[in-house]
Each structure stands twice: as C-alpha cells, then as structure tokens.
Amino acid sequence: MINEFIRKDRTFRRFDENYFIDSSFLKNIINDLRFCHSARNQQALVFKIITDKFTNEKIFPLLKWAGYLTNWDGPQQGEHPTAYILIGIHTQRANLQDKWIFTDIGIALEALSLILAENQLGNCIIAAFDKHKLEKIIEVPNYIDIQLVIAIGKPIETVETIDIEQNDSIKYFRKGDIHVVPKRKLDDILF
C-alpha cells in the first residue's frame, strides 16, 4: 500500500479553495512527525500551522509556484491552498551548517506528504518565497530559520508521470489541463 501512495503522491499546485482543512488535523500530523528519524536525535525541526483565510491571503503572494512553467503565475483565485505548514530549524538545537539537518527535513517532508496523500489531500513544497516578509507576517522568533512553505489543499488538477530516456529533459510541463512530470527510468538511477 505504501508503494501506491508513493506513486500517487505528487506536487499539486491547484486546489479547491472551498475545502477547509482543520488545524487540529494538521496538528495530529505534526504529532506523528515527532517520531520520524532525526540525525543524532537533535529534533531541531519546528513547524507552524496556518489555516485561517486572512493569513493565507497574506502568504500566497510571497510564494513562487513553478520555476519550469515560465508562462504561469501560479494558482488563480479559487485554486489557492487552504492551509500551510512552515518548516523551520530551531537554531538553538541545530547548526544551519549541519548537513544532516536537511536529511531530517527530507524525511519529515516525505512522511507529511504521504499522510496527506492517504487523506486525499495534496501539497506543494515551496522553497522559493519572500522569507523576510513571511517572517514578519507570521512573527517568527529570531531563533527559528524558516526553510520551506508547504502549501496544502484538496487537489483539483491531474498530475501524471512519464518515463523518460536518459538524455531527455526532466522539466515538468502542462499538456492541456494535465501536469506532466518526467521521471528517469530505473536503469538510469541504478549504478
């Protein structure tokens, strides 16, 4: 069953803006993430849940949505995410120069994404955002370094994967209303 969720778990960029996500549901997920692997057990990741529409509307314009889709400015009104989770590093618990903290982030992200997929929700992991403005809106303490914004919602788009040849482009693209994600073949990732 986990294999099925890994294959279905994609990046979604368009959501049903009328679908409300309760903060207590997301808080339960964060509680599950406490049990993820952590290098040296430093447990330096911290999370901020945002579900209120007013704050969501302030966050949305600070995000960049799809680098490869140069002619697309992101979700339209009615397609915005209805929740966000910010992932940060508690700098008093871990050094930002510690490469292992980013392994912890990857582990937590995959767990989060799979739990969301299991609940028919989608997400978009966003690293391109106006950090300074976001930190002011959310009033982030100075010992927290925000790394990612996870946009969450009920997906309203179809995302498909295609196998590509070794030298083909890895850039995702739109084919009509379908978001297409090229994936390298198994033989191309084994060595």
Mean pLDDT for the chain overall? 95
pLDDT of residue 1: 79
Q: Are 144 and 90 in contact (CB under 8 A)?
A: yes
All CATH 2.20.180.10 domain ranges in the chain, comma separated: 158-191
CA 133 vs. chain centroid, Å, equals 19
Question: Does CATH number 3.40.50.1820 belong to domain 2-156?
Answer: no
Contact 94, 42 (CB under 8 A): yes
Query: How many percent of the chain have pLDDT more than 70?
Result: 100
Asked if the model's pLDDT at residue 45 lies above 90, the reply is yes
In the sheet that 178-184 helps form, which strands lie side by side, from edge to edge? 158-164, 178-184, 173-175
The Cα–Cα gap between 173 and 187 comes to 23
Determine the pLDDT at residue 54. 97
Q: What is the pLDDT of residues 23-37, one digit of tens each?
A: 999 999 999 999 999
| 170 within 8 A of 184, measured Cβ to Cβ | yes
**158-191 in CATH: which number?**
2.20.180.10
Report the alpha-carbon distance of residue 113 to residue 44 in Å, rounded: 19
Structure tokens belonging to residue 1:
């069953």
Burial class (CB in 10 A: 0-12, 13-18, 19+), 181: middle
pLDDT of residue 78: 97
The mean pLDDT of 148-170, rounded to a whole number, is: 96
pLDDT (tens digit, 9 = 90+) per residue, 86-144?
999 999 998 778 889 999 999 999 999 999 999 999 999 999 999 999 999 999 999 99
DSSP state letter for 96: T
Q: pLDDT grade, residue 9 (50/70/90)? A: confident
Portions of the chain given CATH number 3.40.109.10: 2-156
